[in-house]
Chain A
Amino acid sequence: MALVTAEKLVKNYVLGDITVQAIRGVDFSIEPASFVSFIGPSGSGKSTLLNMIGCLDPPTGGTLQVAGREITGLSRKEAARFRGEHIGFVFQDFNLIPVLTVFENVEYPLQMVQNWPKEKRRKRVMDMLDAVGMADQGNKYPGQISGGQKQRVAVARALVTNAELVLADEPTANLDRETANRIITLMQQMRDEFGTTFVFSTHDPRIVKNVEITFSIEDGMLEKNHIAGGGADA
């Protein structure tokens, strides 16, 4: 069973008197534990697709199922709860909470969103920090670590809740080549270790080279899909 299934998915934005069709009735599905990328030029609609999959932006039409649940009609609260339980996010600017330490940033979703008990939480956070190679940096604040380290922490935060799906919007855009490669490798390892599905929105060829499936999107249409390793249909 697919982790994400979209049918005739539409997203329109109304700007004054003009309606902009950002996504024009696309169909696609993403299988569990896959490494998928939406690629396309700026303004093509790839971030919009990612936002809809991540329950951040409701579709205008069509259906969209994530982790077996139809998410098109979710309220703000339901959407927040769903994100907290099923989806992890990795952002281009890392988006760590500056007043929390590395440990606390990773701990945050377990503590404030899923209410895990303290001991279980601490063990899980340490395991995740260990997995991303940041176990010895737990007491540092985001301002005290490098960009690559921040993105490692962001990956740990996205995975700490056992999310089935991690959405990464341009995760390597602010990283140098070597660091970007290490982050991509880390994500692949995480996918292999935890079976998490990673979906990227990117035009970074380094990511495109490494993903199994790419969806090319232009003017709101999924024009083609390139299957490197199988596992997706469009």
Chain B
Amino acid sequence: MLNILKLAIRNLKRYKRRTFLTSMLISLGVVAVLLFISVSGSFKAMMVGQITDSMLGHLQIHKKGYLASIDSLPLNRNLNQQQIKKVEQILAEEEAIEAYSMRIKMGAMFSNFVETTNIRLNAVMPSQEIDTAPLLTDRIIEGQKDGLIKKGEILVPELIAKGLKVKVGDAIVLVANNKDGSVNGQNFVVRGILEGISGPGGRDGMIHIDDAKSLLRISGAEVSEIAVRLNDIDQLPTVFSRLKSQFGSLRNKQDKPVFEVHTWEKLSPFFNIAKMIDLMTFFIKIMLIAIVLVSIMNVMIMAVYERINEIGTLAAIGTLPGKILALFVVEGFLLGILGAVTGTVISLIGISFMNASQISFDFGRQTGLLLSPTIAAGDVISVALVVIAIAVAASLQPAFKAARMDPITALRHV
């Protein structure tokens, strides 16, 4: 095998320019794929982090049917005390859970005593919410961030604050419909202005959960949703599967499920963008495969054509067809390795350069997001292996042609 390798290397060196150009073409493809994976991966990870860590959490638990009617923020689909206890009990047994936050989601009339508008609100326990959505405080663009919120205070969404010219420290009043149809109002002080972000709940205001209970005249424990944060988002599929199974087994008297569990992927439209990015990555990989396939096949066909007489000589002096085949396959294999290694090195340098350059970008209403591309070793290895495998596959046809060549025809070839 070493002899075949030696011969293949010498044959590649024999046509230096062609070997260089082919390996550079493959390298270019590898660079394109790895840079795209790293940049899009960075973008995806950042956006997922923003969405889950500043708003949704990784998972959410609701009463069955709540999500279908979430636009109307129904108070009659809240979880009651007994159901909350059951949820807490299950969550306490799950080691992968870092924190969870109980929320009441509600709609209200927001008035600055001059103008009035509708507002959607998340009512939270500040300590739970900070643990579950640690980036939430970063969204407070004006006002005090520490402690998130206290009783009697409100975080006003950016757009409403601008529209109604509300500032930090202003007094406002919230008027809300209660579950029984009555109306109640309560005064609040604006603690801060909350930056809006893409996705459901991204433009909601925030109050303390106790204020929500008094405004809505809720006496016992009652919540609309429980947002859950995991220790590691990579565990999401397995934890979700476990929780779904556990909550799915809890049924009411009509034998219908009591709870519903959803991951952030189901809750946020960004997941579709993430899927599109994955799809684009897939197609770029297909393009890479096409580049490798066409370039290697072209080079190997040329190599066989130019060495027909030599193939005839090798066959005449007793070289077995399998060894002639191996000779050309190894050449393709080496071209694949050369392209993959060069492309990987250039990509890693490019990624380091982008990180050092501190490139920022805007997404929707979010500006100045810092691009920090990274690439997993698994991605690098898988791309390199695909390139090498395709290089070998592309050289098979010319190699078979060489191995099956009639020695006499080959020897007569000029």
Chain A interfacial positions (CB closer than 8 Å to B): 51, 54, 56-57, 76-77, 80-85, 87-89, 91, 93, 95, 97-100, 108-109, 111-114, 157, 161
A112 near B313: Cβ-Cβ < 8 Å: no
Q: Which residues of chain B come closer than 8 Å to A111, judged between CB atoms?
A: 3
Given known contacts A95-B309, A95-B313, A97-B313, A83 and B408 CB-to-CB distance under 8 angstroms: no
A80 vs B408: C-alpha distance when bound (angstroms): 13
Given known contacts A99-B10, A111-B3, A80 and B320 CB-to-CB distance under 8 angstroms: yes
Determine which residue in A51, A54, A80, A87 has the highest number of CB atoms from chain B within 10 A of its CB, and name it: A80
For window 303-351 of B, CB contacts with A under 8 Å fall at: 309-310, 312-321, 323
| B411 at interface by CB-CB < 8 Å | yes
Q: List 27 A-B contacts (CB under 8 A).
A: A51-B408, A56-B408, A57-B408, A77-B320, A80-B315, A81-B318, A84-B319, A85-B318, A87-B318, A89-B313, A89-B316, A89-B317, A91-B313, A91-B411, A95-B312, A95-B316, A95-B411, A99-B7, A99-B11, A99-B14, A100-B7, A100-B10, A111-B3, A113-B317, A113-B319, A114-B318, A161-B318
For window 1-52 of B, CB contacts with A under 8 Å fall at: 3, 7, 10-11, 13-14
Interface size class of B (residues with CB under 8 A): 20 to 34
Closest Cβ of chain A to B13, distance in Å, is 8
Determine which residue in B7, B316, B319, B321 has the highest number of CB atoms from chain A within 10 A of its CB, and name it: B316
Chain B interfacial positions (CB closer than 8 Å to A): 3, 7, 10-11, 13-14, 309-310, 312-321, 323, 407-408, 411
A98 vs B311: C-alpha distance when bound (angstroms): 12
Q: Which residues of chain B come closer than 8 Å to A82, judged between CB atoms?
A: 318
A112 near B3: Cβ-Cβ < 8 Å: yes
A83 vs B14: C-alpha distance when bound (angstroms): 28
Residue A84 contacts which of B3, B7, B318, B321 (CB distance < 8 angstroms)?
Answer: B318
A84 near B317: Cβ-Cβ < 8 Å: yes
Q: Which residues of chain A come closer than 8 Å to B10, judged between CB atoms?
A: 99-100
Q: Which residues of chain A come closer than 8 Å to B314, judged between CB atoms?
A: 97
Q: Which residues of chain A come closer than 8 Å to B411, judged between CB atoms?
A: 56, 91, 95
A85 vs B318: C-alpha distance when bound (angstroms): 8
A64 vs B321: C-alpha distance when bound (angstroms): 24
A91 vs B101: C-alpha distance when bound (angstroms): 86
Closest Cβ of chain A to B364, distance in Å, is 59
A94 vs B312: C-alpha distance when bound (angstroms): 12
A108 vs B318: C-alpha distance when bound (angstroms): 10
Q: Which residues of chain A come closer than 8 Å to B407, judged between CB atoms?
A: 56
Closest 9 CB pairs of A and B: A84-B318, A99-B10, A113-B318, A95-B313, A83-B318, A56-B407, A89-B316, A56-B408, A80-B320
A100 vs B4: C-alpha distance when bound (angstroms): 12
Residue A97 contacts which of B310, B321, B323, B408 (CB distance < 8 angstroms)?
Answer: B310
Residue B321 contacts which of A80, A83, A93, A100 (CB distance < 8 angstroms)?
Answer: A80
Q: Which residues of chain A come closer than 8 Å to B318, judged between CB atoms?
A: 80-85, 87, 109, 113-114, 161
Determine which residue in A97, A111, A161 has the highest number of CB atoms from chain B within 10 A of its CB, and name it: A97
A111 vs B2: C-alpha distance when bound (angstroms): 11
Closest Cβ of chain B to A229, distance in Å, is 29
Residue A112 contacts which of B11, B14, B319, B321 (CB distance < 8 angstroms)?
Answer: B319
Closest Cβ of chain B to A103, distance in Å, is 13
Closest Cβ of chain A to B406, distance in Å, is 8
Q: Which residues of chain A come closer than 8 Å to B320, judged between CB atoms?
A: 77, 80-81, 113
Residue B317 contacts which of A76, A93, A100, A157 (CB distance < 8 angstroms)?
Answer: A157
B317 near A108: Cβ-Cβ < 8 Å: yes
Closest Cβ of chain B to A199, distance in Å, is 14
A111 vs B7: C-alpha distance when bound (angstroms): 12
Closest Cβ of chain A to B377, distance in Å, is 36
Closest Cβ of chain A to B328, distance in Å, is 14
Closest Cβ of chain A to B375, distance in Å, is 37
Closest Cβ of chain B to A99, distance in Å, is 4
A76 vs B310: C-alpha distance when bound (angstroms): 18
Given known contacts A57-B408, A95-B309, A83 and B7 CB-to-CB distance under 8 angstroms: no
A112 near B316: Cβ-Cβ < 8 Å: no
B309 near A98: Cβ-Cβ < 8 Å: no
Q: Which residues of chain B come closer than 8 Å to A76, judged between CB atoms?
A: 321
A219 vs B54: C-alpha distance when bound (angstroms): 94
Instruction: Find the A residue at minimum CB distance from B317.
Output: A109
Q: Which residues of chain B come closer than 8 Å to A97, judged between CB atoms?
A: 7, 310, 313-314
User: 15 other contacts beyond A80-B318, A113-B319, with CB at 8 A cut-off?
Assistant: A56-B316, A56-B407, A56-B408, A56-B411, A77-B321, A81-B318, A83-B316, A84-B317, A84-B319, A88-B317, A95-B310, A97-B310, A99-B13, A109-B318, A113-B320
Determine which residue in B14, B312, B317, B411 has the highest number of CB atoms from chain A within 10 A of its CB, and name it: B317
Instruction: Find the B residue at minimum CB distance from A113.
Output: B318
A113 vs B312: C-alpha distance when bound (angstroms): 15
A76 vs B318: C-alpha distance when bound (angstroms): 10
Q: Which residues of chain A come closer than 8 Å to B319, judged between CB atoms?
A: 80, 84, 112-113
Q: Which residues of chain A come closer than 8 Å to B317, judged between CB atoms?
A: 83-84, 88-89, 108-109, 113, 157
A112 vs B7: C-alpha distance when bound (angstroms): 11
Q: Which residues of chain B come closer than 8 Å to A112, judged between CB atoms?
A: 3, 319, 323
